[in-house]
Structure 1
């Protein structure tokens, strides 16, 4: 059972006098539910969150009374009420609000899924997506996470770092292969990210998922700062890498330019 790991920033925050340990533990238990995508036992959650069983039990009972967790004393699962936490972020997030109509237009023209992601530690988190009418289940759901180093959106977002910071960041990562095509040599990953930054886009071919390739561009704030990345992905049977550059890249670049003056 994998355990949740705190980032260096989270560990530093714990040292502050205003840090609330109980709240932190409750949030760790909530996050633990997403690891195996199934109802979990008290022991599962205790191991995943790296907390004592007695502590986890008290947290679960609180979450049950608050309506965020359902359980029968043996198996526990999150309830739809947890979506209130995600919806609060999405409705208050300016990037999603501005980008959604632009992404809808791009997805319609490309006839493929268009997604928007931000960087969270060593992972990317997808915060918006748009599908053409003919696509019903293809693509990455909102909230889905992937390693940043081997995804097109991740490489675009890592590319906003200065070279020295980028090197330190990648050197501190554990690069685990997701497919047979995943680039895991750190020097090669760094060089690829720098090259992608120069080109203004990133194209990743079956490194994050077998049979899937995607192309991404940076989404910039009004002052030029990169705050997100947008991509179009497709199965390898439907489109070549050359076609992605010819067909999808102009659409993504046009969308990025249209969004920049609207993002403050």
Structure 2
């Protein structure tokens, strides 16, 4: 049943837009900046920001607003209700222990991936990854596997509206090169990233399928680039990942 306009709470919609205006590149926003990023007028943006402060979701230093960790409750509560995260966690824990590397499961949200579950052996990235963390889809092994599950025109449209600014000197920035890697992932059933996200980090990913063969998420292993060059990762880790892939296909609805 379609939502009637009378069912929509406009103030809540505006407040959510203000929360989404904050990101890694905009951790602090003034009223003017929040208005510009949301398309709201200054007065509405200001009321939304002050409401977030009053409810403990933001801080205000007199000019700039910043979100507080309380905002994480919103995302973590949503993730916690997803059965998939609960299903995959023990499989991740056991896989990570067997191979001695960090394992993660993620889904795609527009041009980004969102981590649902993670089992970390050691920290190999400068940023700490946890459920709810986001990275660009086009330059991650998880993201390329998820994009490979889409029809080529849809995957291309997502790549073309992504921020392709290089994260390292090895990052691919040409949409055609990225699409070629996505096509390879579609053909081979896995994707490998060699230091495109961060120097010193390699990863390999496979799709996670439901009982009908549809890709619902992606699984990866991440490791230091000095441990295993990309060419060696397939033989060493892919068989274990395939076993987890097959096991989860039997239990994912």
User: Counterparts in 2 of 1:83-232, with a 5 A limit?
Assistant: 83-132=72-121, 135=122, 138=125, 140-173=129-162, 175-232=164-221
Whether the 8 Å contact between 2:27 and 2:67 is mirrored in structure 1 is no
Q: CA separation of 1:250/1:83 partners in 2, compared to 1, >3 Å: closer, same or farther?
A: same
Following superposition, the deviation at residue 158 of structure 1 comes to 0.6
Q: Distance in 2 between matches of 1:149 and 1:36?
A: 18
Q: CA separation of 1:173/1:78 partners in 2, compared to 1, >3 Å: closer, same or farther?
A: closer
1:42 paired residue among 31, 45, 50? 31
Q: Distance in 1 between matches of 2:195 and 2:61?
A: 42
TM-score (norm 1): 0.83
Following superposition, the deviation at residue 173 of structure 1 comes to 4.3
Ranges in structure 1 where 5+ consecutive residues have no aligned partner: 1-12
Q: CA separation of 1:77/1:186 partners in 2, compared to 1, >3 Å: closer, same or farther?
A: closer
Q: CA separation of 1:65/1:98 partners in 2, compared to 1, >3 Å: closer, same or farther?
A: same
Following superposition, the deviation at residue 245 of structure 1 comes to 1.5
Whether the 8 Å contact between 1:108 and 1:131 is mirrored in structure 2 is no
Whether the 8 Å contact between 1:152 and 1:203 is mirrored in structure 2 is yes
Q: Where do 4+ consecutive residues of structure 1 move more than 6 Å?
A: none
Ranges in structure 2 where 5+ consecutive residues have no aligned partner: none
Following superposition, the deviation at residue 72 of structure 1 comes to 4.4
SS at match of 1:237: coil
SS at match of 1:127: strand
Following superposition, the deviation at residue 174 of structure 1 comes to 5.1
